[in-house]
Every structure is written in C-alpha cells, then in structure tokens.
Chains A and B, each alone.
Chain A
C-alpha cells in the first residue's frame, strides 16, 4: 500500500494562493473557509539582514493523527494509505476534532455543518490524477507522491534533500507534508506558525471528566444494588408472592 506524502518547496513558493483557489473550486469549499492556508511569516532579523518566508499549511495526514481519537462516532479515520479521511455520513459536526488538530487544518463547513479538510484530493488520486493544488501551483513548488516509491521525486526530496516536517519537541505527530527550504527559513516558519498541542474541547472534557464518570457510576451503583437484591431474593426464596 502506498504511503502518500506531499512536499512543498518554500524556495519556489510565491504565496500566490493559486493552490487555495484551485482547491476551493475543486471541492466547492464555502467562502470564508479554505482547506489550504497560504501565509507569510513576519519579517525577522534587523536591516539589512531581513528574512521572511511564505508557508502553505494544510492537513498533514499525520502518522499519529490527534483528530481521530476524540471523534465520537468514528467519522474521522486513517485509511490504509495513511490519509486521514472524514466519513461525511457519520459526522455529526460536534467540532471535537477541530480543536484537536495542531495545524488548524479542520473547519466546520457552514453549508453541510460537518467537518471539512484536505484529504490530498483522495478522489482525484483514485482517478490517477494529482491533487488540485499540485497541478495548479504556478511555481511548481508542490509535489505529491508515494513515500515508499524509492524512485519517486517525493521520496528523493524527503530522504535525500532534507524535506522537513513541521513538528516541535512537544508536538510531534508525524505530519506527512514536508517542506524544503533554507534551514533558517524553515526555522522561521516553525517559530511563526508552530503546531499547538492537541486539545480537547470544553464539551469534550465535560463528557470525559464529568458526564462519563457520573453515568457509569450511577448505572454501576444501580446494577450493584440490583445484584445485592437479586441474591437476597434467591436466598430468601419466592414465598411472599400473591398471584
């Protein structure tokens, strides 16, 4: 099975947003939302030694996706090719996964009121095409392919040209979007847009820490009481029954 990955060469990226536009057109992403985020870091350093870098963020199809665990119904799952997918028929739009994502790659679509995110254009891959952002990138800065294909360019870029994952010591979930660029630029991107630790929504915490123990405790006490009563009944025998 393939292990899909994407490489974005930040040395080529001109932050033109064509990827976002192509993606939004391909998947009818509602206005105000996007599956890819093109951003530019603030200027760093002092004149005349200034640096800045564009950055394209999207779902990283992480090896250990933090969004899967809090998904109540199992609508979010990781498929065999490592792509993190959403079963729209199963999603109830609770937003637990949105808060779990360290890369803010997820959003609740105001149209379907379900979660939406990049899935590496899975339907296009199945048709043998490349993701919309890759084919449309004006600077040819984006590459898509199978990490396990040793002759492929993605494999070469990741394993031989120093493609880097945007992860920190505290948040390392194995993102599968790799970045090429000068090390100081990649460092700047990482410090400007660091992944935030996965978190559980307040409602999720209330469910896990309050409602769950209360319910399991109450039902448990009831069952225990009934068990005691039942054994008492067996012990006493059914003699005082009127019909």
Chain B
C-alpha cells in the first residue's frame, strides 16, 4: 500500500495493491526467537515423549503399555530414561532462564491477552465459529499476535515456571517428600494444560491453511505485508505509521512527499487512536 494515508480500519484492497503487498516482506521474529522456538519445540517433543513413558503406574499412566515398553527398550533401563528426562529438562531451564529473567519485559507485553479489549474477545469467538463453519464474519483487527496466540502464550507463561520448579523439586527431591508428592501433581497438571493449548497451536501453525504464513515466519522471520494487513492489522498499522514517521524525518520538508494527500488528513490519521 503505497498511499500515504494509513487507514484506521482494514479497507478493501485493489488487486494491484494486494499483489504489491504480497511481494513486500515484513520482519516479524528475531533470529534468536526463532532459534529459541525450535529449541523449545524439540525439547518439548522429547520431554513429553519420555515423560509419558516415565509414568508407568496403573493409577496414573497416560501412555499404553507397548509405548512404555518401547521407551524402556530404547533407553535400556528406566533409570536411563529418567536421567535423560532430567538432564534435558535442566538444559531447558538453563537456556530459558535468561529469556525468562530479562526477555519477559520485551516480549510479554505484546503477548498479554487483554480481555477488556473487545477486538480480542470478538476474535476468539469469531475464530472459533469460523473454524466450525458457523459464520463468515471477518476477524477483528489484531496486533502482532492474535488473541488465540496470546491466550496460548498466557497459558505457557503461567505454566512454564510451574513445570520448571516442580521438575527441579522432583529431580533433586528438594525440601520434603510431601512437597515432592505435590510436585508430581503440579508437574502433571501444568504440562497437561500446556499440551491442551499446544494441540491447537500446532494445528493452527502446521495444518490450518489461513495461518500458513505465520508458520513460515517461524522459519524465515518474515511475513508478507498482505498477511500482516489481513491478519494483524493493528500491527501493520503501527509499522506503517513508524515507517512514515521515519520517512518524514529523512526527507527534506519542502519535498512534496504527501502531495497527494489533502492538507490536514495526514496528521490526524497518523496519530494513534485515542
């Protein structure tokens, strides 16, 4: 979209505009975040598969006997299986600690689900209804992350520290046996809640057609502008305003940058709403 007027709400695009926006790429993820994401994904697959095999009690098991037997065979002994689970879990904690301690201020802000934001609430409802084929209503405009991604991110932000702390309590049998017993319960519960969200996360990322550019953005770090416009309009608008502000600063005042815009409309539309 080459027009200097940044719309407040998504406007219908002409085929030429859409084609042009499809060609432009916007940076969405830092390379560190991409690496961290795939490190996390790999760790989760390994920890989940070994964790499920570790619960062999008839009272609590989640995996069938053949699955547990397969992992016992793969690792030789169940003690090795436990050692692997603990060692990888500790590696995961160590890698994530700096991110958790220093990164949360930068990233958590964009990932917070705001239930007082009508667009977020509507998005969750409309998205669900659209998937179920119950409505054709367009999705409300979203920021850099949509309400679904933010909802999952809230579950992850809440539950990950629980997984880490209870895991460490069990691995080193900290404080008292009673605490270790309860750590088992909390570890299981918090992992379970994340997995419930993970099922949706993986489906939306890897299977659902509308969100495929978002999946590839976790590899390339970029999305095309059209996807940003259609799926993350508020973010797109922010980027556009920042881009214009930068251009205004760069070019001399007297150059007619905004000649095609009626006087006055540029300034008002550039202001963030509210």
Q: Are B78 and A90 in contact (CB under 8 A)?
A: yes
A65-81 interface code vs B (CB 8 A; 1 in, 0 out): 00001111110000000
Main secondary structure of the interface of A (DSSP, over half): helix
Q: Which of B215-243 contact A (CB under 8 A)?
A: 216, 224, 226-227, 230
Chain A residues near B199 (CB-CB < 8 A): 219, 222-223, 226
What is the chain A residue whose CB lies nearest that of B79? Answer: A89
What is the chain B residue whose CB lies nearest that of A220? Answer: B196
Chain A residues near B272 (CB-CB < 8 A): none
Let me know if B170 is at the binding interface, CB within 8 A: yes
Let me know if A140 is at the binding interface, CB within 8 A: no
**Chain A residues with a Cβ closer than 8 Å to the other chain, count:** 50
Q: How far is the CA of A214 from the CA of B159 in the complex (A)?
A: 15
Q: How far is the CA of A221 from the CA of B22 in the complex (A)?
A: 36
Q: Are B195 and A219 in contact (CB under 8 A)?
A: yes
Q: Are A208 and B59 in contact (CB under 8 A)?
A: yes
What is the chain B residue whose CB lies nearest that of A206? Answer: B185
| Chain A residues near B (Cβ < 8 Å) | 69-74, 87, 89-90, 92-96, 98, 108, 113-114, 200-201, 203-204, 206-208, 210-212, 214-216, 218-219, 221-223, 225-226, 228-230, 232-233, 235-236, 238, 240-243
| Chain B residues near A (Cβ < 8 Å) | 22, 54-60, 62, 77-79, 82-83, 131-133, 170-171, 173, 177-178, 180-185, 188-189, 191-193, 195-197, 199-200, 203, 207-210, 212-213, 216, 224, 226-227, 230
A-B contact pairs, 20 of them (CB 8 A): A69-B57, A72-B55, A87-B79, A89-B77, A90-B78, A90-B79, A92-B82, A93-B180, A95-B177, A108-B177, A114-B173, A211-B192, A212-B62, A214-B189, A215-B189, A219-B196, A229-B203, A232-B131, A242-B213, A242-B230
